[in-house]
Structure 1
Amino acid sequence: MKILATWGLALAMAASSLPAMAQDTKTIRVGSWLPPHHLIVSGILKPWAAAIEDETGGSLKFEIMTSALGPPPAQFDLLLDQAFDVGYGVSGHNAGRFPLTQVMDLPFMSPDPWAGSAASWLTYEKYGADYGEHDGAHVVGLFTHSNPNINMAKGRVDTLEDLKGKTIRVGGNVTGRIMSELGASPVQLPPTEAQTAMSRGVADGITFPSESIDFFGITPVISSITRVPGGLYTDTFWVAFNQDTWDGLSEAEQAAVNKHSGMAIAMLSGFAWTNGDKHGEMKLNEKGVEFVTLPEADVTKARETLKPLETEWLALAKEKGFNGEEILSYARAMVQNYRADTEVNVVK
């Protein structure tokens, strides 16, 4: 009888604990403006969320939204307004709002998505808390996309001279400035409108990684692609919690998020963009799109032409009370540490 009573008490206690456990589960809504199969969602956010859910034993559950609550430039404000708990976006979509965080957007900073993503996060981790550019949010990750190309619907860009007078679709403020300095006329359009714009002659080309050309259905109108060695530009993406949501997590939950964020997000990005580009280039090659490489002399010329962007960024950093030279030097050092083409086990 005592044994039965003990078992009965244990079962009753277990049953009574189930509702409490369910109540302890926190659902974290992740705002998303991209389709679920885009690599940022499927290759970065989903594995990141799954790792944290596992780490917390299910006390955190992430719900990635399938419908956008607003356009890409609105994502940070939607996050601050608590439309969702976690958001992501492109820093360059909000011109002038995150200029110091966008250090990796400067010309020829990111040679590949591994180096660019690692350097963007490590630089922000070291200096970003003082920037004050993300007040109201808690940034858990930064990453960059892979090397962009100059993708043309008509004609070819064999040299910088060929860019002059061309209308090029761009995604962010720094990219627009780069195209303008190189002689092209930038036009900012959503990627979903790029194919139509080029088909109708509104734009002659677009700056995009190969992955994005395929994903957004632009491949059919592309005739030639010009690679720019060294990485002409990149966009810096952010991943952040609303500050109130972050403060509402327990210390153990915050530790679990931190464990799988930061450099973990950067490395997921490296995998995602590298694999995405392989798929995109395969599709472009199947269509017979011609790939050309900008000559070394023109790359050197582009670096010199675009030097004012760095000078202006340094002046802005100084105006805001920061040592821009130190930040820039650190970012470049981190790029070198994480370059995908670093030679190892080689005697020189």
Structure 2
Amino acid sequence: MKIFTTWAVAAALSAVTLPALAQDTKTIRVGSWLPPHHLIVSGILQPWATAIEEETGGSLKFEIMTSSLGPPPAQFDLLLDQAFDVGYGVSGHNAGRFTMTQVMDLPFMSPDPWAGSAASWLTYEKFGAEYGEHEGAHVVGLFTHSNPNINMAKGRVEKLDDLKDKTIRVGGNVTGRMMSELGASPVQLPPTEAQTAMSRGVADGITFPSESIDFFGITPVISSITRIPGGLYTDTFWVAFNQESWSGLSDAERAAVEKHSGMAIALLAGFAWTNGDIVGEQKLNEKGVEFIVLSEEDIAAAREKLKPLEAEWIAQADDKGFDGQQILTYARDMVENYRADKQVNVVK
């Protein structure tokens, strides 16, 4: 869809009638499949849009849609079809389509949303132009969510073996593979159906950050939560313009968008997910949900069991003509630079 244009006319009134002054205001439609109060919309997209509007002096106006034109997996195609000017989505909702971009989805890559979001963007900024995974769109941001937990409605996961024969709701293709490797049976369902699925015994648990458990109303059915230090997995989200809409911006407007995108979006994601988890855990604690921390021994075992996913990703990258190990090493280096628990005030 081409950028919608309106005219804002400013008239100076005095004893003598002066010519009207016109300012060209471009309205950017942002496709959205989440409610306006979800943190991705209210904590990431809205502040991002507001900053750009202010930067351009009103030359750009963002209109975030309040009803979805299609399910989450359809968002990238809707963007390419010009159903809206800007879209966002989860890379893992389209299995095999954004393989290279999903480097941060690999096991134990993202210890927190600050590190994960920063590393996802910086790695894409360095290598992504070669991927060819977003042709027809101009990517302005990538980010990850916060550390997920294993949230159980039925049974407890005190040790890794407790996952065997459990049915776990997952959100993306890589997460589903992880659960299979760890002995669970993954089932991919929309988050809005998770509570019903667990209430009816269709699923025993769900992999989700604490924020999402609260937001999607799943808290009432959760009895125990298992934390996995180091970040078992994450999902990589993309934010992008339709290429034609991007090309329709002036040089100054594109500069304003770029100023408030990239790492700025990563920082917004770090704030949003961190604060969202605080609220979500308060609700879970009020309900008396039991929190369990997986042992270091079991974490080491999980890392070992999930090594094949990393090897397979590197092989896929190499088959596409990329140096998979180089990309993976760079992503890990960026994680270490930006991780939230990095100690910097060391007293010798």
TM-score of the aligned structures, taking structure 2 as reference length: 0.95
TM-aligned CA deviation for residue 344 of structure 1: 1.5
What pairs up with 1:38-187 in 2 under 5 angstroms?
A: 38-187=38-187
Secondary structure, in 3 states, of the residue corresponding to 1:165?
A: coil
The CA distance in 2 between the partners of 1:315 and 1:343, in whole Å, is 34
Match of 1:3 in 2: none
TM-aligned CA deviation for residue 347 of structure 1: 2.2
Structure 2 unaligned runs (5+)?
Answer: 1-13
Match of 2:269 in 1: 269
The CA distance in 1 between the partners of 2:338 and 2:48, in whole Å, is 21
Are 1:12 and 2:18 counterparts?
yes
Structure 1 residues 17-39: Cα deviation after superposition (integer angstroms, max 9, x where no partner): 1xx21xx1000000000000000
TM-aligned CA deviation for residue 8 of structure 1: 5.6
The CA distance in 1 between the partners of 2:303 and 2:99, in whole Å, is 20
Q: CA RMSD for the aligned pairs?
A: 0.8
The CA distance in 2 between the partners of 1:128 and 1:64, in whole Å, is 27
Match of 2:200 in 1: 200
Q: Where does structure 1 differ by over 3 angstroms across 4 or more consecutive aligned residues?
A: none
What pairs up with 1:331-346 in 2 under 5 angstroms?
A: 331-346=331-346
- Supply the AA of the counterpart residue of 2:68: A
Match of 1:254 in 2: 254
Match of 1:235 in 2: 235
TM-aligned CA deviation for residue 71 of structure 1: 0.2
Structure 1 residues 56-90: Cα deviation after superposition (integer angstroms, max 9, x where no partner): 00000000000000000000000000000000000
Match of 1:28 in 2: 28
Secondary structure, in 3 states, of the residue corresponding to 1:183?
A: coil
The CA distance in 2 between the partners of 1:257 and 1:25, in whole Å, is 15
- Supply the AA of the counterpart residue of 1:12: L
The CA distance in 2 between the partners of 1:37 and 1:195, in whole Å, is 20
Are 1:310 and 2:310 counterparts?
yes
The CA distance in 1 between the partners of 2:15 and 2:55, in whole Å, is 32
- Supply the AA of the counterpart residue of 1:305: K
The CA distance in 2 between the partners of 1:109 and 1:344, in whole Å, is 21
Match of 1:4 in 2: none
The CA distance in 2 between the partners of 1:337 and 1:186, in whole Å, is 33
Secondary structure, in 3 states, of the residue corresponding to 2:18?
A: helix
Structure 1 residues 263-293: Cα deviation after superposition (integer angstroms, max 9, x where no partner): 0000000000000000000000000000000
Larger radius of gyration, structure 1 or 2?
1
- Supply the AA of the counterpart residue of 2:316: L
The CA distance in 2 between the partners of 1:66 and 1:114, in whole Å, is 27
User: Which structure shows the higher helix fraction?
Assistant: 1
- Supply the AA of the counterpart residue of 1:181: E
TM-score of the aligned structures, taking structure 1 as reference length: 0.95
Q: How many residues align?
A: 335
The CA distance in 1 between the partners of 2:261 and 2:15, in whole Å, is 44
The CA distance in 2 between the partners of 1:345 and 1:171, in whole Å, is 38
- Supply the AA of the counterpart residue of 2:344: V
TM-aligned CA deviation for residue 222 of structure 1: 0.1
The CA distance in 2 between the partners of 1:172 and 1:72, in whole Å, is 11
Secondary structure, in 3 states, of the residue corresponding to 1:74?
A: helix
- Supply the AA of the counterpart residue of 2:227: R
TM-aligned CA deviation for residue 345 of structure 1: 1.5
TM-aligned CA deviation for residue 346 of structure 1: 1.2
Secondary structure, in 3 states, of the residue corresponding to 2:89?
A: strand
